[in-house]
């Protein structure tokens, strides 16, 4: 059963595990196992899921079934199905598969952009423009998000000027993106920096300022999400079990753990629309689909405090 639409939510938790998490681990989760995991996420009340990345299968065999997974997920009622697209070809495949929302990573670090996609940030803005045109032609209802990656620093070039980050986000929206959020790709961000950058982003873009995509590489993921919340951000990316690890800090999770993020907000009285028990239960199909893969999360390990509730 899908989530109860009568449950009002104050924040949108966007689950990125089936894309960001799965493409970061060595093993490839079988397609049927992905379906069971998505079902469990939907049953818990998750309303936006990044289910796949449309990249060549030879580069990311974990995503070879992207079109199939999107086609399955869009049959779930009340869920926005999102796909990551690195270029125009990926966007066309995602649109044809029926994705509701496309997210396009645009790196604020010139060094990272060239190493990652062999294009400058300005080249990527032109790619956003081309994708926006294609979207207008094929599926005008589909939302396009430009996520500014390495917005808080980069392992290759170190400091990323804040003016560059804001300028790039504004260029992406001007090129046709519906919104632009900020990603702490390598886990460098701190709460003071998060407040400052999201304040500037919201001042520049208003309602088109998008999600906070934080990593927990140095243990600051939840603190950074709270800092973004304080600045008015209401969409947060996270990954069940912190799936994906982090190549820069062995033993440290990469993405913010969905279960811990939901617990933090619910404990504060901020409604997520997600059932705490059911989101913890969604770890079972994830673990079954990736045997032996470490899962992170303080809340699932510690359990819920006595009297914590009520839950739908």
**Over the stretch 165-214, which tens digit does the pLDDT of each residue have?**
999 999 999 999 999 999 999 899 999 999 999 999 999 999 999 999 99
So what's the pLDDT on residue 312? 43
Count the Cβ atoms, other than its own, within 10 Å of residue 224. 27
In the chain, domain spans: 12-302
pLDDT tens for each residue of 266-294: 999 999 999 999 999 999 999 999 999 98
pLDDT band at 3 (very low <50, low <70, confident <90, very high): very low
d(CA 282, CA 284): 5
So what's the pLDDT on residue 182? 98
Q: Which fold has domain 12-302?
A: TIM Barrel (3.20.20)
Q: Which of 154, 172, 225, 246 is catalytic?
A: 246
**246 carries an active-site annotation:** yes
pLDDT band at 246 (very low <50, low <70, confident <90, very high): low
Q: Give the per-residue SS3 of the chain.
A: CCCCCCCCCCCEEEECHHHHHHHHCCCCCCHHHHHHHHHHHHHHCCCEEEEEECCCCCCCHHHCCHHHHHHHHCCCCCCEEEEECCCHHHHHHHHHHCCCEEEEEEECCHHHHHHHHCCCHHHHHHHHHHHHHHHHHHCCCCEEEEEEECCCCECCCECCCHHHHHHHHHHHHHCCCCEEEEECCCCCCCHHHHHHHHHHHHHHHHHHEEEEECECCCCCHHHHHHHHHHCCCCEEEEEHHHCCCCCCCCCCCCECEHHHHHHHHHHHCCCCCCCHHHHHHCHHHHHHHCCCCCCCCHHHHHCCCCCCCCCC
Q: Which residue has the higher pLDDT, 133 or 3?
A: 133
CB 11 within 8 A of CB 272: yes
Question: Is residue 259 over pLDDT 80?
Answer: yes
So what's the pLDDT on residue 245? 63
Q: What is the mean pLDDT of residues 132-137?
A: 98
Question: Is residue 2 over pLDDT 90?
Answer: no
Q: What is the mean pLDDT of residues 135-148?
A: 98
């Amino acid at each position: 059963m899908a989530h109860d639409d009568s449950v009002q939510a104050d924040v949108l938790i966007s689950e990125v595990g089936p894309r960001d998490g799965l493409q970061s681990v060595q093993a490839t989760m079988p397609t049927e196992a992905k379906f069971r995991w998505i079902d469990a996420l939907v049953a818990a009340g998750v309303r936006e899921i990044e289910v796949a990345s449309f990249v060549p299968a030879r580069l990311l065999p974990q995503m070879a079934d992207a079109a199939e997974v999107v086609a399955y997920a869009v049959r779930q009622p009340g869920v926005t199905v999102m796909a990551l697209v690195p270029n125009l070809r990926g966007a066309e495949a995602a649109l044809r598969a029926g994705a509701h929302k496309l997210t396009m990573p645009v790196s604020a670090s010139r060094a990272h952009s060239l190493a990652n996609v062999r294009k400058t940030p300005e080249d990527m803005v032109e790619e956003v423009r081309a994708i926006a045109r294609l979207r207008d032609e094929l599926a005008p209802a589909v939302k396009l998000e430009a996520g500014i990656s390495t917005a808080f620093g980069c392992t290759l070039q170190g400091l990323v000027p804040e003016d560059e980050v804001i300028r790039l986000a504004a260029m992406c929206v001007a090129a046709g993106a519906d919104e632009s959020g900020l990603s702490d790709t390598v886990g460098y961000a701190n709460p003071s920096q998060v407040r400052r950058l999201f304040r500037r982003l919201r001042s520049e873009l208003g309602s088109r300022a998008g999600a906070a995509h934080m990593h927990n590489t140095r243990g600051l993921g939840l603190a950074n999400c709270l800092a973004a919340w304080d600045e008015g951000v209401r969409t947060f990316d996270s990954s069940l079990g912190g799936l994906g690890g982090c190549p820069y800090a062995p033993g440290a999770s990469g993405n913010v753990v969905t279960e811990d993020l939901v617990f933090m907000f619910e404990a504060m009285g901020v409604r997520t629309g997600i059932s705490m028990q059911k989101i913890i239960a969604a770890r079972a199909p994830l673990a079954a689909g990736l045997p032996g893969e470490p899962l992170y999360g303080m809340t699932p390990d510690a359990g819920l405090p006595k009297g914590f509730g009520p839950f739908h």
